[in-house]
Amino acid sequence: MRLAIVLLCARFLCAQSSVASTDELLSLTGRLRAAMAAGDWKTAAGLSTTLKDAVREARDRSFSVSNAEQIGSVLSWLPENTETILVAQQPFTVVQEKRQTPIDAASLARQYIMNVLDPLQEEHALRSLDGITLRYAVLAGRNFKNHLTGDSGALPLGMIAFEGCGVYAFASAIPDNMFSQPPNVAILGQYSWSVRHQLDEQPSDAPLIYDTFFAAKIKPDILLACNDEDFFSSVISQLSTAPHTSRFEALPEWKQTGTAAAVWGLRHFNPASATTDPTYPIDKTLDKADSGAIGIVVQVGAPPGTIRARFLSTSKDNPLDEIAKLSEFRDAVTMRRPSEGVFELSVNDRGNAGYAAIFAIMSMLGFAVLL
């Protein structure tokens, strides 16, 4: 993963329980001007930092109010066979991994959401996003399966094969110079960028694997990026339709989804893919697809410091038992059954437990294989 993400949380934001009002911002501005006029540059520097952080926090809270409605529209663009959605609903800033300090669980989860943008940057169609603020981001996935193996049977490392589309809302209009080349393809009348990218970490004895990635500025401040042309076209075709409720809101998983979390997601299992999808739930006693599996919901950061997964199933046995036994969790995991047919796992997000929990829930969502 080439990008790491950090939530916009500066000293003022972390120290304050509410957003600064307009009067408070004006007061800070006045104090800053007075300090500068008096030549008190040390005080001015501190006030400047506080004012910057306060303005950014006010902006982010403003974004958050409108994000929920806009994310609802994004979900309505997705085709019916979309299986998984992963949503970062709070503003965050993209930070290059080489500059990244140790990251929290929400930041780690956002790396997966940014995955389909990486090849566009590596192939120099999209310039570096380092330092760019996004209001929200959504990754949708379907058709999860293993990559081709080499003669030895070894699988490529990293994320498994899937068809995915990401929608990225920028804090301001996307500048033309964000792209290092002009659009090279038109799909359904939408000027788009297309790049061919070699899969990273391929087995040495396997044929080279390439994917084609597509991107389009579908609104002045919204970028669509996909690793599958059909998925890309499906979303493009829905952009002009009248607003409507997404099918996700009718799923049983939706009632369990913590949409107040910094990052949340859900997956509605597709039984038709049980024989080809290595992440599809397996009945441990019969070693076959679990006919009771319905879906899973995840939330990161709600409640604070917690990574939570809820598995919906008609099975009597807890499908999360094996995951709860991961050595990294030790005393950091709790299990409960909040209602009939719902199994919940909560993990403290600190240290190794947090890293292991993020990988485990991404596996359950379909993006990785938990061995």
Residue 171 CA to chain centroid, in angstroms? 17
325-352 pLDDT, tens digit each:
888 888 899 999 999 999 999 998 888 8
101-122 pLDDT, tens digit each:
657 888 889 999 999 999 999 9
Least confident stretch, 131-140, 152-161, 333-342: 152-161
Give the residue with greater pLDDT, 151 vs 170: 170
215-241 pLDDT, tens digit each:
999 999 999 999 999 999 999 999 988
Q: Comparing C-alpha atoms, which of 233, 106, 109 is closest to residue 163? A: 233
Least confident stretch, 41-50, 330-339, 351-360: 41-50
Give the residue with greater pLDDT, 307 vs 260: 307
Contact 212, 195 (CB under 8 A): yes
| Res 251 pLDDT > 90 | yes
Give the residue with greater pLDDT, 351 vs 287: 351
Confidence of residue 188 (pLDDT cuts 50, 70, 90): very high
Q: What is the 3-state secondary structure (H, E, C) of the chain?
A: CCEEEEECCCHHHHHCCCCCCHHHHHHHHHHHHHHHHCCCHHHHHHHHHHHHHHHHHHHHHHHHHHHHHHHHHHHHHCCCCCCEEEEECCCEEEEEHHHCCCCCHHHHHHHHHCHHHHHHHHCCCECCCCCCEEEEEEEEEEEEECCCCCCCCCCCCCCCEEEEEEEEEECCCCCHHHECCCCCEEECCEEEEEEEEECCCCCCCCCCCEEEEEEEEEECCEEEEECCHHHHHHHHHHCCCCCCCCHHHHCHHHHHCCCCCCEEEEEECCHHHCCCCCCCCEECCCCEECCCEEEEEEEECCCCCEEEEEEEECCCCCCCHHHHCCCCCHHHEEEEEEECCEEEEEEECCHHHHHHHHHHHHHHHCCCCCC
CA-to-CA dists, residue 43 to 24, 39, 47, angstroms = 17, 9, 6
48-74 pLDDT, tens digit each:
777 666 655 555 555 556 688 899 999
| Res 150 pLDDT > 70 | no
Q: How far apart are CA 94 and CA 365, in angstroms?
A: 23
User: Averaging pLDDT over each range in 15-19, 63-67, 179-183, which range is the top one?
Assistant: 179-183
Residue 8 CA to chain centroid, in angstroms? 15
Round the average pLDDT of the chain to a whole number and report it: 83
What pLDDT, on a 0 to 100 scale, did the predictor assign at position 180?
A: 92
| Res 203 pLDDT > 80 | no
Confidence of residue 4 (pLDDT cuts 50, 70, 90): very low
What pLDDT, on a 0 to 100 scale, did the predictor assign at position 224?
A: 98
What pLDDT, on a 0 to 100 scale, did the predictor assign at position 285?
A: 63
Q: How far apart are CA 182 and CA 216, in angstroms?
A: 11
Residue type, 50: T
What pLDDT, on a 0 to 100 scale, did the predictor assign at position 164?
A: 96
Q: What percentage of residues in the chain have a pLDDT greater than 70? A: 80
Confidence of residue 267 (pLDDT cuts 50, 70, 90): very high
What pLDDT, on a 0 to 100 scale, did the predictor assign at position 19?
A: 53
Least confident stretch, 74-83, 124-133, 280-289, 319-328: 280-289
| Res 243 pLDDT > 50 | yes
Give the residue with greater pLDDT, 100 vs 280: 280
Q: How far apart are CA 292 and CA 318, in angstroms?
A: 11
Q: Comparing C-alpha atoms, which of 79, 181, 163 is closest to residue 124? A: 181
Give the residue with greater pLDDT, 46 vs 100: 46
| Res 46 pLDDT > 70 | yes
Least confident stretch, 33-37, 106-110, 246-250, 347-351: 33-37
Indicate the pTM of the whole model.
Answer: 0.81
